[in-house]
Copies of this chain bind each other. A is one copy, B any other.
Amino acid sequence: MGKRMSSVIIPDRAPYILSTASVVGKKEGEGPLGKGFDHVEQDAHFGQKTFEKAESFMQSKAAEMALSKALLKPCDIDIIFAGDLLNQCTASCYGLVELNRPMVGLFGACSTSAEGLAMGVMALESGFADHVLTITSSHFCTAERQFRLPLNYGGQRTPTAQWTVTGSGAFVLGNNPISKEGNVRIKAIAIGAPVDMGITDANNMGAAMAPAAIKTLTEFFTDSKTTENDFDLIVTGDLGHVGHSIVKEQIGLSGVYNDCGLMIFDRERQDVHAGASGCGCSASVLASNIITRMRAKELSSVLFTATGALMSPTSAGQGESILGIAHAIWLESV
């Protein structure tokens, strides 16, 4: 049975990340981490009729690849935890229906990658599941249509704006590793609370999410009695340049701290302004670059903290502030 130290939960049996898979779009494939993704698609439609179907396709492809790498079939998965940015989790529901497995839909905006991993750990620890699949995605074109302006409008982007990643990241978790070496376990998790700091600028998500990241990280350090020295990498989900700077300065973190939203694109060359965002950002970076470096023992202790901006077009239109949330996952290579 898991132990709780205030905000930090330590599973009795730290589960293994049996496999991961990442599927991304062309622009992500051209970025600094491009070679590490499992599949880079050149067509923004992924061969589908709509961008929403393209996002569903990404999820089904990532799920298929992660299952295959874990040497499992869909029927071996006891629970799927899935979510995305779209209204009513459209990408996940339609992308995964053919797996025909028990599914728990999640919503945590861009924090969903960590939310899913946390739920996966809980499912394994409770004995309710032996294998879980956690998956999330985002697509630049579906997100722009949903949260901002239609692409055809050609709206000007502000310097604080972030570029939604077209990508999906899938993870299969289980209690027993499939190989003897190069394994990654989840040592602890922390589920964050929503934070309202009164930010209302939908083009400055980094600033809206930074307070939640600060809250979750500082509580994690205190409750787990750790400092940044206990980690080779502390990485937030998609704060981008603005949010990353705020968190770095406020907590006083050193070069060990990075952000998936700064890692996936070359900000200068790829014209993404403040960096990247989206459920697929942290999910695809963790599922590729970070886990690969952990399996190779280049990184041994990583604090992955996915961040989400809990807002909707309706709440934005009604002048509500943008709530932030952040969930932390402590990973170790064994």
Contact = CB atoms under 8 A, between A and B. Distances in A.
Contact of A125 (B49, B126, B312): B126
A86 B310 contact: no
Q: Which of A83, A99, A125, A127 has the largest count of B CB atoms less than 10 A from its CB?
A: A127
Interface string A75-102: 0001100010111111001101101111
A182 interface: no
Interface in A104-138: 104-109, 115, 118-119, 122-123, 125-129
Nearest to A308: B105
Q: Which of A78, A89, A104, A127 has the largest count of B CB atoms less than 10 A from its CB?
A: A104
Interface residues of A, number: 64
Contacts of A52: 314-315, 318
Nearest to A80: B193
B53 A128 contact: no
Contact of A105 (B9, B78, B87, B106): B106
Contact of A315 (B1, B79, B94): B94
Contacts of A314: 52, 86-87, 90, 146
A89 to B, nearest CB: 5
B115 A122 contact: no
B102 A192 contact: yes
Given A2-B128, A97-B323, 4 more contacts: A2-B127, A83-B105, A88-B312, A104-B191
Interface of A: 1-4, 7, 9, 11-12, 49-50, 52-53, 78-79, 83, 85-90, 93-94, 96-97, 99-109, 115, 118-119, 122-123, 125-129, 146, 190-196, 310-315, 318, 320, 323, 325
